Structure 1
Amino acid sequence: MNEFIVWDEKQKKFIQPSREIVMTTKDGLLKGINGGNGFVEQWKPFSYIGKTDINNKKIYADCSILEFKMYGTKSVVSVKGYFYWSCEKLRYKFMSLVVDNYPRKEKNIEWNRAIGQRFKIIDTIQENKLGLI
């Protein structure tokens, strides 16, 4: 089974479901029984991509906003963005949001070297404390 977390919209926080997952809806939401109190909740799941950041925190697709430095032959570039699953490529790809303080929204800048970088989780898409989304 794949590891995942869910965003609890009511509590505005991430939870790791310890409850029984009842079913998946057509729109990809999960339904589960919340802590034995008998009512069903809906959650959006976020998959663990199998990597951790420099602080050993797990990185989740479409969720964890990351920062890393990419070293070129002539310069060092600071990059912020997140991973998402590409059904077309059948692998995780990186969507950059900011490169050296220049917004790159809605542009998929794919670096094959991104996978080997030392990431630091700085925010989540759901919380958006830094206003990057």
Structure 2
Amino acid sequence: MNRRLLVLSAGVAGIFAIGCAVQGQPFEKIPSPPGNAVIYVYRPYSYGSSALRPAVTCGEDTARIGPGGYHAFIVPAGDKVVCSIQTDTADEVEFQTERRSYYVREELGWGLLTATPHLNPVDTDVAQTEIQSCVLEPQIGSAK
């Protein structure tokens, strides 16, 4: 009887874990539009903190990115652009943009009681490997 309960519990946990990952189109790099840069913010899948989707802002655009998701922010090239994540604590990265792609990994670390989000710029070679397992985060309405 205990074995049957264990198998059932594992199955239910698996169903809930699948439901927490972002569903969408697999990663596809887009070319930088003329006069613009692309900043990809991605969040590798992790079951911990899967319910949290803090708002990430790059330039004038805001998105909420779930575990296993990414969002491509189109920003003007030649400008200073700040990407930030706002919760109880703020974290940000700044770019002096050129017409190319940039990558930022969103990570959630744990404090005493809550998750603390961080944005970390990532080298293109590392990011290309990590972002391949992410899917385009569907945005519903404005996250601002």
With structure 2 as the length reference, what TM-score do the two structures score? 0.29
* Structure richer in strand, relative to its length: 1
Greater helix percent: which structure? 2
Asked which structure has the greater RCO (Cα within 8 Å, sep 6+), the reply is 2
